[in-house]
A = this chain, B = another copy of it.
Amino acid sequence: MRQQGVGGLTVSEIARRMGIRGPSLYKYFPSLHAVYDALFARGVRGNAEAVREALEPMPPGLDRIRAGVHATVRWCLGNQALAQLLYWRPVPAFEPSPESFAASAEEMGAARAELADAVRRGELQESADSDDALRLLTILMSGLISQQMANEPDAGYPAGLFARLTDDALDMFLAHYEPTRRS
């Protein structure tokens, strides 16, 4: 996928690189879409792991949210093929299975909990504990990642012209939900 694009993944090519024949792959995956689904799940897990590692040493506070977003942007730019599978719809007719989608939703829940904690600690105003606030945050992440991948895919993190605006984007977001300002 990294070399041919996400849509360029084929049963034959996977088998070729594994040193087996195409039909043998069907002992492990019932279809190419099942392979995509496994990759989607791997992407969710990989991203989640990267975020968890980044948050592990962080004390409570807004910096946890910053660290989580940075970790996601970094992971996505280091795993662009998987990131495309998670953030875009590059494969016609492929949708993640309910199981894979549920794993993705679980990660969203974790992010939502961080927002709720920040509100509880008085670091963000009430309205930050909402689906819309979480959506705004994902919009920022998706925009950072999409623009960097589409316009300057080789620059990576944190050098890229777009990726290095991650903190500016976070400044915008956190200021928007500052307790003293109104939403």
Interface of A is mostly: helix
A87: B residues at CB distance < 8 A: 146, 150
The answer to whether A142 and B138 have CB atoms under 8 Å apart is no
A155 on the interface (CB 8 Å rule)? no
A146: B residues at CB distance < 8 A: 87-88, 142-143, 146
Copies in the complex: 2
Our pick among B89, B132, B169 for the contact of A5 (Cβ within 8 Å) is: B89
The answer to whether B162 and A135 have CB atoms under 8 Å apart is yes
A7: B residues at CB distance < 8 A: 5, 7, 90-92
**How many of chain A's residues have a CB under 8 angstroms from any CB in B?**
39
Our pick among B89, B92, B139, B147 for the contact of A4 (Cβ within 8 Å) is: B92
A20 on the interface (CB 8 Å rule)? no
A34 on the interface (CB 8 Å rule)? no
Q: How far is the CA of A141 from the CA of B93 in the complex (A)?
A: 25
Known: A88-B88, A89-B5, A92-B8. A147 touches B153 (CB 8 A): no
A175 on the interface (CB 8 Å rule)? yes
The answer to whether A168 and B132 have CB atoms under 8 Å apart is yes
Our pick among B135, B138, B141, B149 for the contact of A89 (Cβ within 8 Å) is: B149
